[in-house]
Amino acid sequence: MLSGLSSAASALNAFQTSLDNSANNLANINTTGFKRSVVGFEDLRYAGPTNLQVGTGVKVGSISPRGFAQGPIETTGRNLDVAINGPGLLIVQQANGTLRYTRDGSLQTDSTGRLVTSAGNIVQPPITIPPNASSITIGADGTVSVIVNQATTPKVVGQIQLARFVNQEGLLSEPGNLYSETIASGPPTVGAPGTNGLAPLQQGSLEQSNVDVTQELTKLVSAQKNYAANAKSIVTQNQLIASTLGLIQ
């Protein structure tokens, strides 16, 4: 019975993680470019003689984005908003110099005119918009052009690059809608949007979260029921132990 208590307790921990994960997915339903994560379970070791082995519980084996499924693209009309219409991630540099990757294309300019994310991370390679630019165009291939003063000919000021990974699901999720490279993801391949398997950009649009509310609520309810069932299992086993001790006395 003690092993049964241990198994049920491990299930409580696992389903609590599943509840937390679904809650986080639902909380980020309006986060630009957010990718839902999925909890994967693994059984624990088995004990006992051959053919009579009993499992000792469950654990969370993985929590990872699955497939980076495309979220719906919404038109914003804002000229610094860019949606990645397919595979690829924007490359940004944090204040400490490290590179990160994101699907959030809600860009803006900092005090020096550089293209940055809403968190202030600098788009790589750096692109500076002149202060006297009257219009900004971001092409499907990432080329950024501006009209300066009264000029009629656009001036190219840079090109947004995208990165892709052999195993994108192996990226590490970080706060701020960012991802970082890991051994599992492999190194990035960088190129212009619309080339070498990278998606084109869509100016004036943003990719929305790929969270399916109905699917996530179903997972939430299922995890809650499984949690309650294992909690009941612990109560029942405690009652059996108490009854057994009563018989001994």
Q: pLDDT (tens digit, 9 = 90+) per residue, 154-184?
A: 999 999 999 999 998 889 989 999 999 999 9
Mean pLDDT score, 15-36: 92
CA dihedral 114, 120, 121, 127 (to 10 degrees): -10
Identify whether the C-beta of residue 173 lies closer than 8 Å to the C-beta of residue 37: yes
* Residue 73: band (very low, low, confident or very high) from pLDDT cuts 50, 70, 90: very high
What kind and span of H or E run contains 158? strand 155-159
Query: What pLDDT does 110 receive?
Result: 95
Could you give phi then psi for residue 228, rounded to 5 degrees? Answer: -65, -40
Strand pairing class (58-65; 89-93): unpaired
Contacts of 45 (CB under 8 A, 6+ apart): 55, 56
* Residue 4: band (very low, low, confident or very high) from pLDDT cuts 50, 70, 90: confident
Q: 47: which 2 tokens?
A: 């004990």
Looking at the predicted structure, is the pLDDT value of residue 187 above 90? yes
How far apart CA 2 and CA 238 sit, in angstroms, is 9
Closest to 35 measured CA to CA, from 87, 71, 82: 71
Identify whether the C-beta of residue 203 lies closer than 8 Å to the C-beta of residue 64: no
Query: What pLDDT does 66 receive?
Result: 63
Query: What pLDDT does 26 receive?
Result: 94
Q: Locate tokens 């909380």: which residue?
A: 27
240 vs 111, higher pLDDT: 111
Among 83-87, 98-102, 230-234, 244-248, the minimum mean pLDDT is found in 244-248
Query: What pLDDT does 2 receive?
Result: 66
Identify whether the C-beta of residue 12 lies closer than 8 Å to the C-beta of residue 237: no
Indicate if the alpha-carbon torsion angle 132, 146, 95, 85 is positive or negative. positive
Helix ranges, the chain (H):
2-27, 213-248
> Where in the chain are the domains?
2-68+211-248, 73-207
pTM of the model: 0.83
Query: What pLDDT does 156 receive?
Result: 95
Kindly report the number of other CB atoms within 10 A of residue 90's CB atom.
27
DSSP codes of every residue in 62-91: EEEE-TTPPPPEEE---TTBEEE-SS-EEE
Q: 129: which 2 tokens?
A: 């918009």
Q: Locate tokens 């000792």: which residue?
A: 56
- Three-class secondary structure of residue 192 per DSSP: coil
How far apart CA 110 and CA 29 sit, in angstroms, is 27
